[in-house]
Amino acid sequence: MAKKKEMEGEVFYPSEQVVEQARVKDWEAMAEKADKDLEGFWSAEASELEWYKKWDKVLDDSKKPFFKWFTGAKVNIVHNAIDRHLKTYRKNKLALIWESEDGKEHLTYSYFAMNREVSRMANIIKAMGVRKGDRVTIYMGRIPEIVFAMLACAKIGAVHSVVFGGFSAEALHGRIEDSQSKLVITQDGNYVNGKIVDLKRTVDEALKRCPSVENVLVVRRTGQDTPMDPLRDHWYHELAKLPVANGKCPTEEMDAEDPLYILYTSGSTGKPKAILHVHGGYMVGTYTTLKYVFDLKDEDRFWCAADPGWVTGHSYIVYGPLLNGATSFMFEGGPAYPYPNRWWQCVERYGINILYTAPTAIRGLMRFGEAWPNKHDLSSLRLLGSVGEPINPEAWKWYHRVIGKEQCPIMDTWWQTETGMFMITPTPTVPLKPGSGTRPFFGQQAEIVDEAGNPVKDGDEGYLVLKRPWPSMLRTIYGDPDRYVNQYWSKFPGKYLAGDSARRDADGYYWIIGRVDDVINVSGHRLGTAEIESALVSHPAVAEAAAIGLPHEVKGTGIHAFCLLRAGFAPSESLAEELRQHVAKVISPIARPEDVKFVDKLPKTRSGKIMRRVLKARAQGLPEGDVSTLEE
């Protein structure tokens, strides 16, 4: 593409071929149009989908920050993800391709089959008494049934709450209790790097104190011995044989603003927040962003290598691809088991055209060297994607050169559980700078502001805020609307506070620096310092604890803990190890600290708040900054 103007820094321009194939050829024109007429842009996108009844209003901002989209409309996301395709040639198109961790099982589901499987699961959970508005917790691994379970809930108007299968019984318990779920859907065990993780037993443990749960639906995956409570627990494969499971299941007509799902994510304080998304706007946002950013073509095979337990999986394994009538690939295992060519084998075997993953996975695979990907034919790849944390230029370039053979633009998509869809992202023809997500998506405006809310100069670091509403924005924190207002809309009234620091360069490109709140991003997983600290102090030896994040070669950020021991306990290597295990057990192995240090005191403000910033500076041998409020 002809360079329009000289851009600063290292820039990768799209090839002629990329431009030729791209859906959006003139990014500037499209952005300008959406900017001038936000509602017009989104209503045109929404009109590409089917609605039982169209909206009265595209955007209702009369009660901001409680924005509403497509008010008055009737819709169900499943109608657009599945039902509408059944009337077209897509009925016979593959919706999902799946491969087991060991590579011995391969399953494919056409849109027709997807409808059958989702209807079956929906009939079963309906027969269990699940109704519109009820919450259902899903605790599973990457198997097709997790997709069926999510869509089955949505189909009948129930609200799913997926909890990542790596979370502990205690974390699961907290999420079930907060959501007051009636039903839990799980599987006997999950294969993780050749070992079985007992999901059902973890559910049993979590349910000891969850009176709201009436039934547990268990998918058989590993076949190991699994205790079943005869009154509460049901094997899915047994119920699936019953006549009640096998009839048609009507898709429930929902209001556009009816809840679709909640998903827990870590915040700066207290327990995880239940982010609420709705049927109408979330549908339009995920459909539109995936279409433009990954430029989905009918013949594409798209692979989002995230886990359905996180928002990336919700939006871009499950909903976005199906809304676009695409063929999506899901792999049960991880990138390096049994060998570090596992992913490349999948790309070759299934002819994947678009691969979307996280910097931590790329850095992890980089360490094994180029020989592993070079053994495979990766020429089917057309586009690559990155999400979850800033991608360091070194990893970006490796991904670009070794995986994409310098032919595939990398879509570095910045977004959050709260935003539901990509917010700062290129589309394929946008010139790229390694490490920058480029500019806000169509219809969005971002700004970098200082403590007082004033825009900073280009090049300076500040708070990242979003200035315009978007259809797939979170509607509230489930059960805690005040926290929604305080967390996102109070620091800079009228602007959405992302919780990230960033800077903008002279070309208008955004560079995310990292979280500014007390959230640690470990391998793209959000963990709150408060959660880690409360896990540490739940151990009898610990009186007080502080957790910070420090740079880590593969994980991006690693957790480092500082503990003050109770009287009668002495620091030791074995106690440090015990505390690391304790955090893994209480939250999840992803939260296990890199190390635990014992201290006599923690740096605190006069009002008693731990100054993690000071701990961080000390640990890295950097200046401590403003310590006027420090009282040690």
**Candidates 41-49, 223-231, 306-314, 332-340; binding stretch for ligand WTA (CB under 6 A):** 306-314
**How many whole angstroms from its chain centre is CA 149?**
18
CB of 599 to ligand WTA, least distance (A): 28
CA distance 578 to 536: 10
CA distance 248 to 260: 21
Question: In the set 389, 447, 518, 533, which binds ligand WTA (CB under 6 A)?
Answer: 389
Beta carbon nearer to ligand WTA, 328 or 417: 417
CB of 419 to ligand WTA, least distance (A): 8
Q: Is 390 in the site for ligand WTA (CB under 6 A)?
A: yes
Cβ atoms of 410 and 378 within 8 Å: the answer is no
Question: In the set 191, 414, 478, 496, which binds ligand WTA (CB under 6 A)?
Answer: 414
**Candidates 340-348, 386-394, 451-459, 550-558; binding stretch for ligand WTA (CB under 6 A):** 386-394
Cβ atoms of 72 and 60 within 8 Å: the answer is no
Q: Is 312 in the site for ligand WTA (CB under 6 A)?
A: yes
Binding mask 264-303 for ligand WTA (x = CB under 6 A): -x--------------------------------------
Beta carbon nearer to ligand WTA, 382 or 515: 515
CB of 522 to ligand WTA, least distance (A): 11
Helix (H, G, I), strand (E, B) or coil at 560: strand
Radius of gyration over every alpha carbon of the chain, rounded to an integer in angstroms: 24
**Candidates 115-123, 141-149, 409-417, 573-581; binding stretch for ligand WTA (CB under 6 A):** 409-417
The single-letter DSSP state of residue 382 is: -
Q: Which residue has tokens 């009737």? A: 74
Q: Is 438 in the site for ligand WTA (CB under 6 A)?
A: no
Question: In the set 438, 521, 523, 588, which binds ligand WTA (CB under 6 A)?
Answer: 521
CB of 28 to ligand WTA, least distance (A): 22
CB of 617 to ligand WTA, least distance (A): 20
Question: In the set 178, 500, 518, 531, which binds ligand WTA (CB under 6 A)?
Answer: 500
The single-letter DSSP state of residue 319 is: I
Q: Is 417 in the site for ligand WTA (CB under 6 A)?
A: yes
CB of 418 to ligand WTA, least distance (A): 7
CA distance 501 to 449: 9
Q: Which residue has tokens 């502080």? A: 546
Sequence letter at residue 529: T
Question: In the set 512, 520, 535, 614, which binds ligand WTA (CB under 6 A)?
Answer: 512
Q: Is 72 left (phi over 0), alpha (psi -120 to 50) or beta?
A: left
Q: Is 473 in the site for ligand WTA (CB under 6 A)?
A: no
Q: Which of 318, 288, 314, 286 is nearest to 302 (CA)?
A: 318
Q: Is 415 in the site for ligand WTA (CB under 6 A)?
A: yes
Q: Is 437 in the site for ligand WTA (CB under 6 A)?
A: yes
Cβ atoms of 83 and 90 within 8 Å: the answer is no
CA distance 413 to 185: 31
What is the DSSP secondary-structure string of 329-358? EEESS-TTSSSTTHHHHHHHHHT-SEEEE-
Q: Which of 445, 443, 411, 444 is nearest to 425 (CA)?
A: 411
What is the DSSP secondary-structure string of 31-57? HHHHHH-HHHHHHHHHTTS--SB--SE
Q: Is 526 in the site for ligand WTA (CB under 6 A)?
A: yes
Beta carbon nearer to ligand WTA, 155 or 314: 314
Residues that bind ligand WTA (CB under 6 A): 265, 310-312, 386-390, 412-417, 437, 498-500, 512, 515, 521, 526
